[in-house]
Every structure is written in structure tokens, then in C-alpha cells.
Copies of this chain bind each other. A is one copy, B any other.
Amino acid sequence: MNDVTESELQRPRQAGESNGATRERNEREILEAAERIFAQYGYRGASVQAIAEEAGLPKSNVLYYMGNKRGLYVRLLERMMARWNALLDDISVDDDPAEVLEAFIRSKMQLSRRHPEGSRLFAAEILGGAPFLQDYLRGELREWVRTRARIFEQWAERGLMDPVDPVWLIFLIWSATQHYADFEAQVLGITGRDEITDADVERITRFLTQVILKGCGVRPPGSGA
């Protein structure tokens, strides 16, 4: 139909308002609310009405900004994928395995901690068979895993770590770090706490780093070449 970018370039375009500020603010609040609701109930279980109430807006207004439920959901998934893709973006065979693995565990933990709803949204999508993420899993993410796996293998060849299957090692780290966001209710229920503190996250990070590094025969950082 009409190319938005072009028409925006042709004319100043924003009237009836002091900027794109209203849109920006409302969209942000809708996205936040939707992330919570979708994470809690899944795609089908979440209703636009519930998202609207969470955002403190009429349902019509939510649909005005987001078009439809499906588009809103996909937009949230893409936002989360972008956050994930930014992780461990540049590692090389010449890096120190211990440092890289620790950085991976740490940044993954922080991603789950900073965006627990996004993390749960992702988990719910995959739990349901990943109907919207098939292409991403079989494309971008597969490549991401492959390149890292190759580096792990080379480390093993150089004797810097045990010859464990690198893909399953990545899955192990993924699952362990994901757990504290996705199954927060379980962790809290069993430990008897009422929230996970920053100190907890730090302890968990250290625990996972220690066990996983030792478990695949990587010497801890700073123990020389």
C-alpha cells in the first residue's frame, strides 16, 4: 500500500502532537504489559483485554497501536531475539575458554534477570512447539550455536578443555541459566524466599561457573596459559 518511510521523509508528518512522544510512551507501556501477560498465559491464553487492563488503556487503543494480537506477539518475540543475539557476539579460538564460558554464563544470567518476562515469553513459545519461531531456530540461532560449537571443539583439540559435545554444553548452560527466570515460582516456592536478590544471582552465577568449568575440564581464569 503506502510506504510509511517515504511519506515521512516527504513532509514533517507529525501533527496534532508535540512529537512522536505519545506514540512512543503508549507503545512502550503496551509492550511491557503484553510481555507480562503473554509470558504468564501463553499466546492463546492471553487476551487483548487483559493486556489492555494491565496497561491501563482501553482495548481499542491497544489495537490502534499494535494492529492485532498476532503482530504484537511477534514484535515481542523479535525484541527478545535481538537481545539474545547481542550475547557473546565476538569470541575467537584464541580467547581464554574459562573467560569466555564465564562471560557467557554471566551475561546469560543477567539477560534472564533483566528481562524475566521476555525470558518466560520465549520459553512459553518454545514449550508450545515454537509455532512462530521455527524459522529463527532453524536459521539464525542454529548458525549462532554452530559457530560457537566449532570454537569449543577447537579448544578441546588444543587440550584446553575436555572433548565434550559442544552443542550439549551450550544447551546445558542455556537451560541452567534460563531456569532461574522461567521457573522462578518453583525456586521461590522450594527455597521459601519471596524474591531472588542480586546477591542470589551472583551466588548462582559463581556456582554454575565453578561446576560447569570444572565439569568440562577448563582451568579457572587467571591460572595461566
Residues of A within 8 A of B (CB): 39-46, 120, 123-124, 126-130, 133-134, 137-138, 141-142, 145, 164-165, 167-169, 171-172, 174-176, 178-180, 182-183, 185-187, 189-192, 203-204, 207-208, 210-217
Which of B41, B120, B203 makes the CB contact (< 8 A) with A165?
A: B203
In the complex, 6 of the A-B residue pairs with CB atoms within 8 angstroms, ordered by the A residue number, are: A123-B182, A137-B189, A167-B191, A168-B204, A172-B207, A211-B212
On whether the beta carbons of A189 and B130 are closer than 8 Å, the reply is: yes
Task: Tell me the nearest residue of chain B to A191, going by C-beta.
Answer: B167
On whether the beta carbons of B142 and A192 are closer than 8 Å, the reply is: yes
Identify 7 new A-B residue pairs, CB closer than 8 A, beyond the known A127-B182, A164-B210, A169-B211: A45-B45, A130-B189, A137-B190, A164-B211, A172-B179, A175-B175, A213-B215
Of A42, A169, A185, A186, the most chain B CB neighbours within 10 A belong to: A186
Contacts of A46 in B (CB 8 A): 44-45
Contacts of A130 in B (CB 8 A): 185-186, 189
Given known A137-B185, A172-B208, A175-B179, contact A142–B44 (CB-CB < 8 A)? no
On whether the beta carbons of B185 and A39 are closer than 8 Å, the reply is: no
Contacts of A39 in B (CB 8 A): 127
Q: How far is the CA of A217 from the CA of B190 in the complex (A)?
A: 25
Tell me how far the C-beta of A198 lies from the nearest C-beta in chain B, rounded to whole angstroms.
16
On whether the beta carbons of A124 and B126 are closer than 8 Å, the reply is: no
Task: Tell me the nearest residue of chain B to A189, going by C-beta.
Answer: B137
Task: Tell me the nearest residue of chain B to A141, going by C-beta.
Answer: B190
Contacts of A126 in B (CB 8 A): 182-183, 185-186
Contacts of A43 in B (CB 8 A): 45
